[in-house]
Every structure is written in C-alpha cells, then in structure tokens.
Structure 1
Amino acid sequence: MLGANPTANSWSNSGLDLHLLVEPGSGRRVGVEQALREAIRDGRLAAGERLPPSRTLAVELGLSRGTVSAAYDQLIAEGLLIARQGSGTRVAEAVATPGPVTPPIVGSPKPAAPRHNLRAGSPDISRFPTTAWLGAARKALGAAPADAFGYGDPCGRIELRSALADYLGRTRGVRATPDRIIVTTGVQQALALIGTVLTASGTTAIAMEDPYIPSFRDTVRAAGPVVRPLPVDGDGARVNLLGTGEFDGVTAAVVTPSHQFPIGSTLSPARRHYLADWARAGRLVIEDDYDGEFRYDRQPVGAIQGIAPDHVVYLGTASKTLGPGLRLAWMVLPPHLVGPVAEAKRLADHHSETLGQLTLAELITSHAYDRHIRASRLRYRRRRDLLADRLKPRAGRPLTGFALSGIAAGLHALIRLEPAGLTEAEVLSRAREYGLALEGLSGMWLSHEARPDRPQGLVVGFAAPSESAYPAALDALVRALSWSSNPR
C-alpha cells in the first residue's frame, strides 16, 4: 500500500515538483541524464535551482537510487550541476541557457517607446499608496471569513458595497444602499452589462456625449443599441436636444456631467435639472463620474443621481484615484435594474476579484482612502498649475494659436488649437519626434469627418507621469506647440 512506505510518497513533500520526460528505448541512466540536460538548457531548471534528493527522484521515476545518482554524477562532471555538503545538488550558476528567438525584422523596425507620456486616463501610478494598501490588506485578510475565498455574490462583497454606500453619500451626494451597488472590473464592463440589460428590455438607441471615449461607445454598440451622438459645449452635454425629433426613440443617455471627457466642461445647473426631468419621464441616465473627486477651483459638484436616484445609474471607479490595474469600479442602480444587471454580471464572470474588494473596503472605512485622495488632489492641482504656467507665451518661445480649457477639475486638460495656428496633425507629428505620447481630439468624435464646428485639439493627461518625469514631458509639449523649429 502506497501510504505504508513513507519513502515511497516522500516526493509529494520534497519541496520541488520536477517533471522529467525520460525517452523510452534509451538506457535508464542515459535517459535521466538527457532529460535533466534538456530541462537545464531550455530554462525549466534555472541556475541555482535545487534538485530533489536522488532517493526522492528515484522513487518518483520508478528507478533505483543508484541510477539517479549516476546520472547526477555525470552532469556534475559536465559542469551542469554542482553538489555541496549540506546544500544538496543544484544547477550550476554558469550554465548558459538560450535566449528567446528574435524573429527577423520585416519592413520598418518597431518604433521605440515614447520617452514621455501625457496621455489622459491614468493617475500617477508611481504614487500608489503601497504602505496603506498593504496595511489594509493585512487587516482585511485577517478578518475575512472563509467564504471570502470561494465563489461569491455577483454584486460584490458586502464589505465593499457597505463602505461605498457611506462614502458615495458623504462625498458625492449619491443616494445608495448596499443592495443597490454592483462591483465591476471597470466602467467599461459596467457599460457592457447595462447595454446588455437595456437591449434585452427593448432599448434600441442610446445617446452618448460626442466627443467621448471611443472604446466606451464601441462597448455600448456591441451590446446592441444604436449610439446617437449628443453634442457638447462649454456648459456640458446639450441635453435639451434629447427632447427633439433628432433623438426620437432614445430612452437612455450616457453623460459625464461633473467633468466632461474630453472637453472638460461641467453640466450647467439648468441642464442638470432638465436631464433629471427627462429621466423621470420613464427614461434612464447613465452617469459616468470617472474623476469626480478631483476639483480644484470650487467645491465638488454633486452627482445627478442624488436628485433622481430611481432613474440614474451612477458609475464610479478606483482607476483614477488609485490605479486602473486594480480593476475595481462600481454601479449604483435604480431598484428595478439590480436583479437583471446582477444576473448579467453572473453570466459574464460570476463576480469580481475578492481580495481587492476587501482591501478597498478597509481603506475606505479607515479613511486612508480620503487621505490619499486629498494628497493626490493637492499634487495634481500643482501639476495643473505648472501646465498652465508653462504654456504662457514667453520671449523667444512663440506659444500662440491655442487656448487651454477644462482645467477646473479632473486629471486632464484640453488644448484647443486655433485655425490660424498649427494643426492637430502637425502638433502630434512634432510630439512624436520629441518622444511624447499625446492624444488628439479628432479621434474621439463618433464620426471622424472634419467639420468646421469641431475644434482641433490635444487632450493632455497631466497626472500620468511620475513627479520626476513630469517637467521633461512638459518640455516636450512646449516644443511641439512652439512655432519655432528649434526653440531654446
């Protein structure tokens, strides 16, 4: 019986699982030698890796200990293995393993990665609150019940939903209870789930701000509805158009009222009330509050959900406050949508990752999340101010032909290019020459056709670079915008 011989099953707790394929037809010792050589040379056994004792490997392979010992001795003689008293047999440090095969270059070589990054959409991930996150994770895991490590509620962990209900009510004016919140892997997944549910209930057309994030539009369209472009101006989305014939059949609208992306405007009070009244007439508003925590020149604008909670889906995310790598976002839903969206979430991926939810819940309830956001707000405001200062015209640096806007809030700004100045294509081309990653406004319209009523511009994300990298990124931006080909 296997369990009767302790030596026979000692391989199961030897500390190293080792898969060796001994070719049939070869001598037993030769076969073990060749299998070990291949494992070393293809990198499966790394330099310095400790091998199982000869007795243990012999039991696993069904061979005699002498056969395995002889194979080890031969590879030691070849310099592939080393044996030291008290430390066992290891792969020699000097063993050279082949590097990855580099395919031949066909056509032009791949361009080098940009040296500077001013793309919008990400915070400074180098300032992720690692210490606070680790502390919260330890506390959360120490208190986690056993069921936290099994399959869970599609709506998300109750700990996080409870923490979010309190936090969103306190900071964003959202009227939420834990049973109305569903945790998702991002705003994009939230839009996909809502689009699927609305399509199943008969929705055929959804209005979305124009310009907006192209991938978000694609997500909604993939769920089924037709997307109708809702124009945006200095007072936010022109929601009064929703009541006109152009939007007949539209029963839902996706908006970014606190800080429109990418224009940067805030929905005016009159339009906020119009939109809420439009929703109360049997329609639905989907409020993307992606960076509502970051306002610099006045108090934060409360969420529209707070004035029409039964007709607004509120979307929030940790991607801008902490980092997109966490894949944590949330929806606050009207009661009639909770069940259908939860079922759509279950069918999509059952539920979001659990450990991050527990950690974020602890971070929020301990108020470490608030402290991190306050510190981030001060840091990003300084960056915004530096951006505005650097773009002022100076002697010898003819910076004209553009205007900076959308900087009262958020993590990005819009540089509108005037018709008499450099074109968007010219600035983006110059930016690439200076190693700067930058996005243009043109690619964010639903239709990419050039029209006189559409300004050209640059969407500048001033949060993404690290503190040390930010000044050099601004230098590259200034050079790209300058009329001079060789600015000092």
Structure 2
Amino acid sequence: MTGGSDFLQLDGSRVRRGERTTWLAARLRAAIADGTLPLGARLPATRVLAVELGFSRGTVSEAYRRLADEGLIEARAGAGSTVAARPGGPPPAAAGRAGSSRAITTPTGSPVEAGGGPGRPSVIDLAAGLPDLASFPRAAWLRAERSVLATASARQLGYGPPQGVPELREQLAAWLGRSRGVVAAPDRIVVTSGVSGALSLLAQVLRDRGVDAVALEDPGAEGNRTVLGQWLPRLPPVAVDEHGLDTAALARSGAGAVLVTPAHQYPTGVVLSPARRRSLLAWAASRDGLVIEDDYDAEYRYDRAPVRAVQPLSPQTVAYTASVSKTLAPGLRLGWLVPPDHLREPLVRLRWASDLGSPVLPQLTLARLLAEGVLERHLRAMRARHR
C-alpha cells in the first residue's frame, strides 16, 4: 500500500485507520472550497482512489457520501462523482422535486393537548423534546462555575456584551467549526436564550424589513410555529417528503424566509437531500430570501454519520441556530445564532433592547466546559445512553 495519490497529492500513509474517512472528506472539502476542485470537476472512481491511497473502498465511498449529503458533490450513474457546489459560493440552480405528502403538525418542547382550533389540524405530542436530564454533568458544571467565580474579573461581572461574552463566542466558533462545519468567526456569533430566543429576534428583524411570511416545514415543531406566530402574520406550511422540504412548493409559498431542520427533520427524521439543499439555496439567492437552519439535535444520529450543516454552503443567506437544550439542559436557556453579516447589527441592537443579553456567569461556565472538552465527552456518553 503506497498511501499516496497523484490526485491532489493526497498522502494518507500516516493517517490512522479510524480517522481515514474524516481526513479524506476534509481534504476534498478544502479543495472544493479553495477552488482546486472547481464546479463540474470529476472525482476519481472510489475503487481507483482507494487503491492509490491504500484505503478500503468503503472508506472512500463513505467520504464521498458525506460530501454528497452536504450537497458539495453529486453522483450520477455512469458519470461518476462531480463537484456540484462550493462552500460559501453562489448555489447553482437546481429544481426541487415536488412532493405532496402532508401530515399533522407536531410539537417540540412542552407537551400540548390534542385538538387544534378552527382551521387547524390536531396536535399530537410525539416527544417531550428533552435529553436525559438525570445525566446532566452536575459535578463538571459545578467545578467550572467555581473556577469562573474564583477567576472572573470585576469587569466580567458587570453588564456583558449583548452579543455574548467573547470567551464563549471564541469557544463556540471552534466547536461549531469542527463539529458541524459552520463558518463562524467569534464576532459573527450572537448568544441567545435558546433557539426560541434566536427565532424571536429573527422574526422581529425580518418583520421590520418588510418580510411578513416565514415558511415552515409540515409536519414540524409546534413550538417554533408558536414563537414565530407572535411576530409574523403568515406562516405558510410547506410539505416534507422523503427528500425533505419540498422546495418547489416553497417557491410557490410567497414566503421571504423559511425555517428548516435539514440535518434531522423534526419529526420525520429525514435528511434534506443534496438536490434539495442546492435548490433551497438557489431559492434564497434568487429572491434575497433567508434560510433559518434549526440544527436542534444533529448530534443524535444513529443510522448514519451526522450530516454537516447547510450554513457553510452559503453563509450570507443562511442564519444558523442551535442550543444546549438537547445536549445539556433546556433550563440553561443558552443558544446561539450565526446570521448573515447584514443582519448581525440589528439583531444585536434588538438583543440589547430586549434584555441586555444572556447572564454572564452561565456563559463563562459553558465556555470553560467547551475549552476543557467536557461537552464533547458528555455528548459521547449521552449518545450511548440515548441509543
């Protein structure tokens, strides 16, 4: 086994066996991002590249599959795999496949009684929307909090920046980059009161900019519908089928923004297909629309490797949001929002006007847990426990 290939001068001879798929996917992703592999470039056949690198064919196939799931490459029968999109670049136009499946709206968060109002479908509670709270890392949190209290300066105990304390935003930028592929420098991140807080801020800013409708997945999370409905008059439903959100129906909805759960749709669990990802971003680019990506529990996939976020494909048309509600506990009320650059300033102003920002001590404590790798270790334990 040589471990080397003329293709991109890849040398996998020193890559450990269990890390080969991640390494190869990262190298290919980087080559697509910097233009070394331009749009339309053909990748070597999996069998050929596997022989050149001395890897198993399954390793190369899995790396290709991950990039295909992210919408970066496209595999066609008889034509091999070609580069279909570039992270952060303009999305190529792609027609979404129409889907007609409709289902009743389902909730997340607190249980809701069945029975919708006039003109509304009944609501069925499929899940409490909570992680195993008995496994909350109390000892680790307490140690981190004590350390923060022992070392925090007088300045840090004052009013924190409404965007979030720098220590947490720096740790989140690194964490989101390596775990979800999110393009997020610390100064682009806004710390929020969970995903609900992020949606509330976005809805108000969008309304002030003349957007009166945000499309929602159907079926979808009733909690998100309730929050957005406080600020916006129209929330048109868009059907979800086996490929995810029906982007053709989205284009007909007249909405100026859409809320999606592409990595793990709630409640169906379907992953937004590569073609639908490209079509979704093409929709946003064609009408100056906004994609709100709710990455609520991508850490908990058991049928496949987690699919990376949509945001790195088009950071200026996607507002990415997530929280610790599904990883630690919703009672912490800590989340984050990575908006397009043109929305960040009005969002931060609104956060200041609303409540001056999130409490400082929990932010500093979470930053410490991230810096020490506690959250990653906790997630590994939680995956096994939830399985």
2:145 aligned partner = 137
How far residue 243 of structure 1 moved from its aligned partner, in angstroms, is: 2.2
Give CA deviations for 1:260-283 in whole Å, capped at 9, x if unaligned.
111221111111111122222311
2:212 aligned residue (190, 204, 207): 204
Aligned length: 262
Aligned-pair CA distance for 1:142: 2.5
The question of 1:357 aligning with 2:363 is answered: yes
**2:239 is paired with a residue of what secondary structure?**
strand
Instruction: State the partner residue of 1:276.
Output: 281
1:325-368 CA-to-partner distances (Å, cap 9, x unmatched) read: 11111101111111001111111111111111101001011111
Tell me how far apart the structure 1 counterparts of residues 309 and 283 of structure 2 sit (CA, whole Å): 16
Q: CA deviation at 1:225?
A: 4.0
Does residue 298 (structure 1) correspond to residue 304 (structure 2)? The answer is: yes
Counterpart in 2 of 1:316? 322
**Does structure 1 residue 254 correspond to structure 2 residue 262?**
no
Q: Which residue number in structure 2 is paired with residue 288 of structure 1?
A: 294
Deviation at residue 323 of structure 1 after TM alignment = 0.5
- Give 1:308's aligned amino acid: S
Q: What amino acid sits opposite 1:364 in the alignment?
A: L
262 and 136 in structure 1: CA distance in 2 versus 1, 3 angstrom threshold: same
1:265 pairs, out of 265, 270, 283, with: 270
1:158 Cα deviation after fit: 0.7
The separation in 2 between residues aligned to 1:156 and 1:377, in whole angstroms, is 28
SS at match of 1:148: coil
Provide the C-alpha distance between the structure 2 equivalents of 1:277 and 1:303, rounded to a whole number of angstroms: 16
Unaligned runs of 5+ in 1: 1-116, 382-488
Distance 1:238 1:256 in 2: 13
Runs of 4+ with >3 A deviation = none
Give the aligned partner of residue 341 of structure 1: 347
Offset of residue 240 of structure 1: 2.6
Unaligned runs of 5+ residues in structure 2 are 1-124
The one-letter code sitting in structure 2 at the alignment partner of 1:237 is L
Q: Check the 8 A contact 2:259/2:294 in 1, yes or no.
A: yes
3-state secondary structure, aligned to 1:153? coil
Look up the SS of the partner of 2:235 in the other structure.
strand
User: Whole-Å Cα distance in 2 between the matches of residues 157 and 196 of structure 1?
Assistant: 23
* Aligned match of 2:373: 367
Alignment of 1:296-445 (within 5 A): 296-381=302-387
**Counterpart secondary structure, 1:315:** strand
Q: What displacement does 1:169 show?
A: 0.5
Distance in structure 2 (CA, Å) of the matches to 1:168 and 1:237: 24
Number of the residue aligned with 2:239: 231
What are the equivalent positions in structure 2 for 1:38-187 lying under 5 Å apart? Answer: 119-187=127-195
Deviation at 1:118, TM superposition (A): 7.9
Q: Give the whole-Å Cα distance in 2 for the aligned partners of 1:378 and 1:147.
A: 41
Asked if 2 retains the 8 angstrom alpha-carbon contact of 1:206 and 1:225, the reply is no
In the alignment, the residues of structure 2 paired with residue 372 and residue 341 of structure 1 have an alpha-carbon distance, to the nearest angstrom, of 31
For residue 379 of structure 1, report the CA deviation from its aligned partner: 1.3
* C-alpha contact 1:195 1:225 (8 A) present in aligned 2: no
Q: Which residue of 2 aligns with 1:8?
A: none
Equivalent residue, structure 2, for 1:215: 223
* Conserved? CA contact 1:203–1:225, under 8 Å: no
Q: Distance in 1 between matches of 2:139 and 2:322?
A: 24
Aligned to 1:405: none
Q: How does 1:457-476 map to 2 (within 5 A)?
A: none
Q: 1:150 aligns to what SS in structure 2?
A: coil
Per-residue deviation, residues 62-110 of structure 1 (Å, max 9, x unmatched): xxxxxxxxxxxxxxxxxxxxxxxxxxxxxxxxxxxxxxxxxxxxxxxxx
Cα deviation digits, residues 1-39 of structure 1 (max 9, x gap):
xxxxxxxxxxxxxxxxxxxxxxxxxxxxxxxxxxxxxxx
Distance in 1 (CA, whole Å) between partners of 2:310 and 2:137 is 30
Instruction: Report the CA distance shift for 1:126/1:168 in structure 2 as closer, same or farther (over 3 A).
Output: same
Distance 1:196 1:345 in 2: 11
Counterpart CA distance in 2 for 1:303 and 1:162 is 19
Per mean C-alpha deviation after superposition, the further-off stretch among 261-270 and 301-310 is 261-270
Decide whether the 8 Å contact of 1:141 with 1:358 is kept in 2. Answer: no
Measure, in 1, the Cα distance between the counterparts of 2:186 and 2:229: 29
What does the per-residue CA deviation read over 1:241-273, in whole Å, with 9 as the maximum and x for residues that have no partner?
2223xx12x110000011111122111111111
Structure number with greater Rg is 1
With the length of structure 1 as denominator, give the TM-score of the two structures: 0.52
Deviation at 1:224, TM superposition (A): 2.4
Measure, in 1, the Cα distance between the counterparts of 2:316 and 2:127: 36
Distance, in Å, in 1 between the alignment partners of 2:247 and 2:345 is 29
Counterpart Cα distance in 1 of 2:292 and 2:134: 31
Q: Aligned partner of 1:261: which letter? A: Y
Report Cα offsets for 1:310-335 as digits up to 9, x if no partner: 11000111000001111111101111
Question: Cα deviations across residues 434-453 of structure 1 (Å, max 9, x unaligned)?
Answer: xxxxxxxxxxxxxxxxxxxx
* CA distance in structure 2 between the aligned counterparts of 1:365 and 1:273, rounded to whole angstroms: 34
Q: One-letter code of the match for 1:329?
A: G
Q: CA deviation at 1:226?
A: 1.0
